[in-house]
Structure 1
């Protein structure tokens, strides 16, 4: 069974060694001797996803992983953009080398942080190139036709410079557009891989000629899909399914959940399958009883320790039973007869090399399943699990991975954690063991289709069912740099679910899926001011991100691309976050840019809105412009240190407060039909729509925070948190501003103590939710980010990590 499963680990192994990717017509520079080619559209995001993937983290410390990591270490200094490819090959001495191809850009190598490095320029009659050495490892590189070509050996780089049409170029180009990681594996690599994982096999035939995979790395999952093909002239086992159609894989219905794994082979015509299989058998198989196999749609092997059981899945149980001659009842277990079988070597002779080292002298019949075995204990285990409904098909962890696979496949292999660990340790010495509760099962399948086969595979971390009212950490996403701002949720317009955006101290903006996968990162010219807005600029349901940095207003699509005519550049500094107004919810957006005391209103074309007449306030704004609707009237609210402007849509005064105050920097809210804010010394000020003002002492200090809904007021000062009329005495600390979230007709109030790193969550009556406070180092955003009814929230963890929790 390891024969096929190797491909799964080759994908993971190669993924781990690949730090980098590919570009335009880089294909003409792939060395002819390359037998593994990795391509990626976003190298930096891929590197982060590899570092965040729980399964690949377990490979850290293994001999193979560490060797590859050292060889590719120089690539972490690469600063490429767009497509990149890494082509692996072996030199004359058998050592692994690689070639890197990508589009050349200025500062493509950033060696500022490399502690021990040198760059030597080498000039020959034919070429000028560089030898870059980091930590004693050399990397040779040059630029040809705006293509950066680098290699770990001089000979390999010079070979790439010759240029030629890579024989698998067209196939490699069929990899999914935008895939962070695609892998092409040719016959040399599959041979190396087969020998590596099948060295104990009696029949180490190559499974296939080449494989093309698109690999998706989420934090708790490795998922890959692709195609494979072998020509008729090759001795590749995938050809055994030529001319057959895949059927439903029912073997999980008979496989005990305690088993180590199983193999399932399906076909619509056994005799076609068997005729194909003869090409891989060293001796002629015995003449078959066509009646026995004639009504079989699936053949499987169940693995339990050193024992195996073979299963025939019959379309016609009666015909199959009649075909097994001279059977006698030799025992009984749970009212199931155990029958003798007098052809112990039949299945190995007929089905090798898929079935090896197998003998059977007894069998049982469980509905349409005929189970053959030599070990009575294993037969009893299969009977008991089948009757007790404790087979794999009944287990939630297997159901979860099956959702990512096809119901029908020609070849399906699954293994449990101990078998997975055994394969890893056999392949990658010193690998840390996978915890049994983390990874219950891993699966790969091949689906025959004309002259090729589809491949699907998954390794997924199993999550125990959360108890009611518990708070569970769903993901811990680590970035390479420290976080600059607080992570927030944005909407994925394709799925209607939420994703995460955050910026690091190098001004890289990240979009991260709700499964913990970094979708892309984009470097910005500066820090984002405030929070990010979303707009539907083209009124077609597709959302963009809109925000401001110190001198620019940006609009970016969900792929990380700038949307024209943005970014807009400003000579003077932008001093407040970008405000976005959509007065009538008709997507006729107004973008308000603040520069000190000056206000500019723009449309989505980047043009000034001619009807807006307000130009400047008396002094600089201390809060970003706000849009408040009370009843059927719209108000634009601008706040300076000593004046509140309440304007209409055109920028003309709509409400003139009869009194002005020394205002705090807190926002203005609609509260009980009035405008509400605070003064510097914590007095609540309310203004009605006629300009009448009122004040109320909330017993706040000058270091206070305020937030409200139309009916609920929340204030925090020192260690006191007031929610409506309830005041809570909390421990003294350094608290973030409280925030109100209204979800599922319920109000939640949250704040974080940055001194003790505790997140608090209360209901509208000031009662703490169960299992709070919980760890976090920033304020949170609370929402339902997926399709279940559970709420999730995002916060900062360590300096460079993002935490997502779920409230169960």
Structure 2
């Protein structure tokens, strides 16, 4: 029995093995063709989408995919005849262009069953809008799809692939090629480089420069280039390798040259719509020899040949950019400012001796900042030495800024450039450039940048007319910014392309006197101080990195100083040792600096207990015998003199709770009153810190409400923590009145805003501005988009004209209300910080000084 069972088992096993062999053989005989084999070596471009489901999800959800969404929804083109839901059924999508077959879409499936099922479902879906006919081709059915406008497409299901072509004839040609291929041995150039493509990328792009080397006429090599494409929020990243075979033009120039970690964005102004940059250590000229007659003429005029001049000063980087869409500038990185300036002065002198038009004149930015502009008929130096892409024909002007020699045919272009660089208005500082900057490669040999709206189209220098037109037609309707980098210090050129579709964040005033860049966005209300030079005005401001800056009237940064925290107080200008000084505090430190930003003797002073608010500066008798009052975390109030010494006789002990607004001094009649308040009670003191008035009721004040004294009503006004209006008379009588429901974080101001001599109560709470008369009757109200985080400011423009300034950080706007609740001319305008309105010395116009999200301080003239 055992032997019989074993025999039966082995017979069954043998039969099973035979069946397995048959099944495997059958599967082998129907082995799927590799999708890239559909495209022969004449195909110019193939785009492979690796995960259709994820890709079309991104098309719907990601801002960067608006371009793709328009592309796939265009029903007048081939891709538009297939709904997204049908695209998503495939495992991969291939979109290709062939000079003979035109545009083709190939959908790859896991097996022939799925591709056939897809074809049948698709035919049913389009049956009402397309007329469908069929024809046999190499054993495969090719369908003719004719739409209502009599436009014809071809469709076939072949070896697990669905092939769709823009013409029936094109589809037949492709099917014949596929059906006639030997699957086991077939290959093409795209398959040979497929190993460089990441299957994890959203898409791969295969570009064939073998058949059309003119595709990139100034930046090309022959063979298949492979690029991976990644979709990230508002940005599309494209990176990969081109072949490196027979590099042409600038590609040949950078071959085997070290790529450079360049800070080119720091020397290109932010108003540039486009720029391109070349880093190369190859001797010039880069291409053909410089025209002999031009070079001889140049040497005769200036005493040095173009080759010699470049060799003396050039530090291996050159950039060209456009300003204001019309003006162009070429910049050469130089070996040294003094060496370059010496050469230019000698050249000007040589030309002048020959009675040629050549001169050096000064461009004055401000009294302390001047630049030499060298004027002569320089000609197209850069184009002769570095090729057409860097031409600046009829160049007449040169200047040196930031280790670069800038050359232009337009003197205003150089003046605008100087102003931009002095005020750090560069691409590197532009908030709109940051998404590009974050994704750029650390090193490159060539960098090309362009954004929507550029009239001087830099890409036209680098792309063939056909390709350039195709790209621009697609991009022109989108707010895009594009950076293309090429590095060639390896065997193959590496390309990194960043396309950002994010909307511009910079929406500052259209017209302004100047804007000056800080390291980070400003957080402090600009403070006007006197520089002591014929009463010239300076502007103090702090950024989010706690750096304090002093700017002059023209916006140039005179100095910057790193502090240990946010400035809590006003910045007070005091006189010590007969010199102007700046006094202010952070939570940990009291600072006293001179007007150059240097600390005074004994300063800075560290607090033993942290300050809870800003210092108060008292000059009781206007004799500069200053007293400085500082509330601390331990609830003490320190009183010191300007030398940092404790004031003898200050008797105040501690408050009942933390003080959140600075102490205030009032001189009423012949008496001094120092007022402090916490959330539990109010303290009315004399100079020694002893109680001068005892309030009739012990109520604390709101954390953001100072004290305001009304001389006509002989009482102080503030608000309580519960939002009541509270007044305290000189005899200590306390009155409370509820006008509105207010949160604990509201702001309060009492001022004669309507100029009726009676005073107004002004409240800001969350997103509301409320203005009442002296009886509490509402004058006007305003609702903001966001919650207000900063104390409003009252501005006085004349005896009768006032304004309330409010910043809405959420809306990124600043508002200025007149006495009727209307916006003054030019408001609201863009800004994110408390602002200052001032008149500079010897000027009649008012100026608005405000920080914006782009990190700049703006000076805007108010008409």
TM-score, scaled relative to structure 2? 0.44
Give the TM-score normalised by the residue count of structure 1: 0.47
State the structure with more CA Rg.
Answer: 2
Between the two structures, name the one with larger relative contact order (CA 8 Å, sep ≥ 6). Answer: 1
